[in-house]
Amino acid sequence: MDAARARAMADRTGATVYTRLEDALADAEVDAVDIMLPHALHEAAAVLAFKAARISVIRGIIASLVCRVQA
């Protein structure tokens, strides 16, 4: 992530910049996450988001995720 670009965009839009998914999920103001990562990173991020009870948008195969979240 380019932190300077992220901060510049946040300044223009009023968004909050997070450098860690865990920090975003800990913020009660965050209702949803859009997971746009390389496929190899989807599962770990999605499991965190699902367990935090956040609406999650994932662009990839989630069959293995469902089994892990239910465990």
| Annotated domain spans of the chain | 3-70
By C-alpha distance, which of 40, 32, 39, 4 is closest to 19?
Answer: 4
pTM, rounded to two decimals: 0.67
Task: Give the number of C-alpha atoms closer than 13 A to the C-alpha of residue 21, restricted to the C-beta side.
Answer: 20
Separation of CA 21 from chain center: 5
Over its length of 71 residues, how does the chain's per-residue pLDDT go in tens digits? 788 998 999 999 999 999 898 999 999 998 888 888 887 888 888 888 888 878 776 766 655 556 666 65
Q: Give residue for tokens 């860690």.
A: 20
Residue ranges of the alpha helices (H) in 1-71? 3-13, 21-26, 39-51, 63-70
